[in-house]
Amino acid sequence: MRPNRLKARLEQGKLVIGCLLAYNAPWLVEVLGTVGYDFVVVDLEHEPLNNESVANLIRTADGVDLPSLVRMPCTERLLPFLDAGVHGVIVPDILDRQHAEKVVEMTRFHPIGCRTYYTQTRSANYGVGIDERTWTQETNQRQLVIGMIEHISAVEKLDGILAVQGIDGYHIGPLDLAQSMGYPPKDELERLIEDVVRRIRASGKYVAVGVVTPWGMDSLPKWAGRGAQIFNVPSAWMLTHMAGQFLGEVRAMAPAGQQDWPPIPAIARNPYFTSDK
């Protein structure tokens, strides 16, 4: 049984900073663990990674003591990743109480849920040296289950969603939420998110809000001050920003008469993730 130091840190009331991984890049997972990220999320909601690649990313993360999660719909495709030893799951677009209950049923063992029973796999040490009943209960305690609130209709049903036991926290998705509201002014969206954060924290669950972008760094202290503990750095924006910024710095060192390169293309910046400053 591999301990979940991510969940332990959350239980201690500490902040955690992870990376939302958009690539089948084991080397990048190793870098993230080596430099000190608290977790990595393999994004299967948006990226076309196959099952074998995901299993190898989970193993790679374990090799550098980096807790791993998968972000994906709660379907039967999730089950092999739970068996492969992933530390948690982030389920997009929770719709209502019934949807939240289905997530718990699929991800937790009895008496909380009814996850399919299988111990001859990596998460159970291949069935070697374990007590099966003890292992299922330890797995329930170890696994981190997070749902995403991404639609205004879910906000309207939030009390019922939060009443479901077995989901540890909720990640609010500002961009999808804004789309479901017809793209309101930023201050209107943030007032709504502030209320959702307050209600989630009042229910005793953990909170994440969006992602931390290079051009919206003040989102971390803002939402941490309101009770959020989980923060995600998107790998794509991290790499494109760093690549362009470092290239610009290198070009600036060239002699003035040799700086005839075309401008570095700008990265698209969604206004909902842009600093207020």
Q: What is the pLDDT of residues 30-53, one digit of tens each?
A: 999 999 999 999 999 999 999 999
- Tell me the C-alpha distance between 238 and 139, whole Å: 33
CATH number of the domain encompassing residue 209: 3.20.20.60
Domain around 168: 5-122+131-273
237: tokens are 């924006």
Other beta carbons within 10 angstroms of residue 117's beta carbon come to 9
Residue with structure tokens 């989102």?
Answer: 219
Rounded to two decimals, the pTM is 0.95
Task: Identify the CA nearest to 218 among candidates 192, 190, 244.
Answer: 190
Average pLDDT across the chain, whole number: 95
pLDDT tens profile 111-168: 999 999 999 999 989 999 999 999 999 999 999 999 999 999 999 999 999 999 999 9
Q: CA 101, 3, 70, 17 torsion: positive or negative? A: positive
The SS3 assignment for 148 reads strand
Helix, strand, coil share (%) of the chain residues, nearest 5? 45, 15, 40
Two tokens, residue 125: 């040490």
Contact present, 90 and 211 (Cβ < 8 Å): no
Count of domains observed in the chain: 1
